[in-house]
């Protein structure tokens, strides 16, 4: 329980996804306390779960500054979550909960904002290179889709530049990339990097490799392996095609991350987030990820100097929301 007094100023942060909402209190050094997770489906509206948290933590009489990271667009007053029936007005939410201030940021902005404050035990370095302090940082995250964001430091404050970088055109690099591209082209009008670098992407790579390797599948379920099945089979060496699929996924991810480094001059580092890659960090370390990251022709020397990391922190959304609110209040 968090002790509170009347008019105590408290910074509340939240990471709101389609399934769970995580709430916490942050101090000025981005230290989180009182972390609580709730199932979104159990609450009719966002205000209900926030009010329950404030009640449980005895914070209803406190002066609350809130920063909420949410998985949907936040550039208008009216908010409608993509994977939940929750709809609300930012102004009304602030008034209803009697908040001192309310800031909504995209969930991927929060992940990006967490990066500058990550400790060594919250990330794993892949390959060589050393980050240059306060230089641009890029982050990409294979998950349900392929999130991309960039961080720039202006006057000792970090600013996130969002976008839809995961939807840029996929560019094959090696012969197997070309063969996979040709297979996907038969069923897709356009191939973006997200078509390969996501959970669905791993499945598409696997299905393409079945055809490329002329594998005769006797069991229909073998064609419908999930991304988790494919990665699990690859990690325990129980399926050659699964291993080939995951290996190629890592190579394509290396090429894409290397492109980000060149595009944004990300000498502060390129970070891999999302729910997929942290599950097999050691596999990535032994894969062709870093080789493809560096293989940029005349610009190879630049990427050789740029470090790459996998974010292993379990609450990057909360940490990023904390970093964001501490820059504005």
Q: What is the mean pLDDT of each run of 10 residues along the chain (329 residues)?
A: 62 93 96 96 96 96 96 91 89 96 93 94 96 96 91 94 92 98 96 96 97 76 83 96 98 98 96 94 98 98 97 94 94
Q: How far apart are CA 191 and CA 103, in angstroms?
A: 35
Cβ contact 323:158 at 8 Å: yes
Q: How far apart are CA 250 and CA 311, in angstroms?
A: 15
Strand boundaries in 40-161, DSSP class E: 63-70, 78-80, 87-89, 101-106, 123-126, 137-142, 146-154, 157-161
One of 3.50.50.60, 3.40.367.20, 3.20.20.105, 3.40.50.720 is the CATH number of 119-312, namely 3.40.367.20
Residue 314 CB contacts under 8 Å (≥ 6 apart), including other chains: none
Predicted local distance difference test score (pLDDT) of residue 275: 86
**Secondary structure tally for the chain: helices H, strands E:** 11, 13
Q: Both tokens of residue 281?
A: 């960090």
Where do the structural domains in the chain lie, given as residue ranges? Answer: 9-107, 119-312
Binding-site residues from annotation for ATP: 14-19
H-only helix segments in the chain: 46-56, 90-96, 107-114, 175-185, 199-212, 227-235, 240-264, 281-286, 289-294, 300-304, 316-328
Angle separating helix axes 240-264 and 175-185, nearest 10 degrees: 100
Predicted local distance difference test score (pLDDT) of residue 221: 55
Which residue's entry shows tokens 């509340």?
12
Q: Both tokens of residue 272?
A: 């891999």
Q: How far apart are CA 160 and CA 149, in angstroms?
A: 7
Provide the CATH number for the domain formed by 9-107 in this structure: 3.30.420.40
Binding-site residues from annotation: 14-19
- The angle subtended at Cα 92 by Cα 80 and Cα 6, nearest 5°, is 125
Q: Which H or E run includes 83?
A: none
Q: Both tokens of residue 49?
A: 């779960």
CA distance to 4, 20, 117, 193, 283, per residue, from 279 (Å): 39, 20, 22, 20, 9
């Amino acid at each position: 329980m968090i002790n509170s007094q009347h008019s105590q100023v408290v910074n509340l942060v939240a990471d709101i996804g389609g399934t769970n909402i995580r709430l916490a209190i942050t101090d000025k050094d981005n230290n989180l306390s009182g972390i609580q997770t709730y199932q979104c489906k159990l609450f009719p509206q966002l205000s209900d779960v926030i009010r329950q948290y404030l009640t449980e933590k005895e914070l209803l009489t406190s002066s609350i500054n809130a920063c909420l990271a949410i998985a949907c667009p936040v550039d208008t007053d009216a908010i409608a979550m993509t994977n939940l029936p929750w709809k609300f007005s930012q102004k009304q939410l602030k008034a209803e909960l009697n908040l001192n201030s309310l800031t909504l940021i995209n969930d991927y902005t929060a992940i990006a904002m967490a990066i500058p404050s990550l400790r060594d035990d919250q990330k794993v370095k892949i390959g060589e290179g050393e980050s240059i302090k306060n230089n641009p940082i890029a982050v990409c995250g294979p998950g349900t889709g392929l999130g991309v964001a960039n961080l720039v430091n202006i006057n000792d404050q970090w600013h996130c530049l969002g976008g839809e970088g995961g939807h840029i055109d996929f560019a094959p690099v090696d012969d197997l990339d070309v063969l996979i591209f040709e297979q996907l082209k038969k069923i897709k009008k356009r191939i973006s990097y997200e078509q390969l670098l996501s959970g669905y992407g791993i499945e598409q790579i696997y299905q393409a490799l079945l055809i490329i390797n002329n594998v005769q599948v006797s069991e229909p379920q073998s064609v419908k392996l999930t991304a988790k099945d494919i990665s699990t089979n690859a990690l325990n060496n129980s399926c050659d095609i699964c291993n080939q699929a995951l290996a190629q996924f890592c190579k394509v991810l290396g090429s894409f991350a290397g492109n980000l480094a060149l595009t944004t001059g990300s000498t502060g580092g390129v970070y891999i987030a999302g729910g997929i890659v942290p599950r097999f960090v050691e596999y990535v370390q032994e894969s062709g990820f870093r080789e493809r990251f560096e293989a940029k022709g005349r610009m190879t020397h630049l990427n050789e100097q740029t470090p790459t990391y996998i974010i292993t922190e379990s609450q990057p959304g909360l940490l990023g929301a904390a970093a964001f609110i501490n820059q504005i209040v």
